[in-house]
Amino acid sequence: MKRLIIFLCSIFSISATSCKESSSKGVVKVVSPKMVQTLLIENSIQLLDVRTPKEFKEGHIDGAQNIDWFSTTFDSDIKNLDKTKPVILYCKSGGRSAKSGKKLLRAGFTEIYDLEGGITRWKKAGFEIKF
């Protein structure tokens, strides 16, 4: 009987884990700079820098659109994005992009990626920035 219970618990655990991993919609996935680089190869990706305009001018990832997290128009600005296309978010180190991801989820976006460690980690990994 004990073996049967252990077996059933194992099966349940495996199935619960595999279901969780296969469902990527409705969550913000934190991804490495290398993974972001891979995702950017796809043309349908929307890259969003949520830092201030001043920070953006000091260097950003090529192709990024700047929508300032602190702006009073942030909520209305994100409505101009395409909810059917994936979004990659980043900020300086990850705090603002994490908060932005939650707002995008509430706004109906389903495929959201957050650059782990922000642009700081991007630069540290040796990836290029644009001025």
What's the pLDDT at 117?
A: 96
Exactly one of 50, 91, 104, 112 is catalytic; which is it? 91
What's the pLDDT at 24?
A: 54
Question: Could you tell me which residues come within 8 angstroms of residue 114 by beta carbon, excluding any fewer than 6 positions away?
Answer: 28, 29, 30, 31, 88, 89, 90, 94, 97, 98, 101
- In the chain, the amino acid numbered 47 is L
Tokens of 16: 């619960």
Residue with tokens 């009987």: 1
Cβ-count burial 13-28 (b if 16+ within 10 Å, e if not)? eeeeeeeeeeeeeeeb
Per-run averaged pLDDT (10 residues), the chain, 131 residues: 43 38 67 94 90 97 96 95 95 96 94 97 95 91
What's the pLDDT at 25?
A: 64
Q: Quick check: is 91 catalytic?
A: yes
What's the pLDDT at 44?
A: 86
Domains and CATH numbers, the chain: 24-124 (3.40.250.10)
pLDDT tens readout for residues 90-109: 999 999 999 999 999 999 99
Cβ contact 66:49 at 8 Å: yes
Tokens of 38: 């891979």
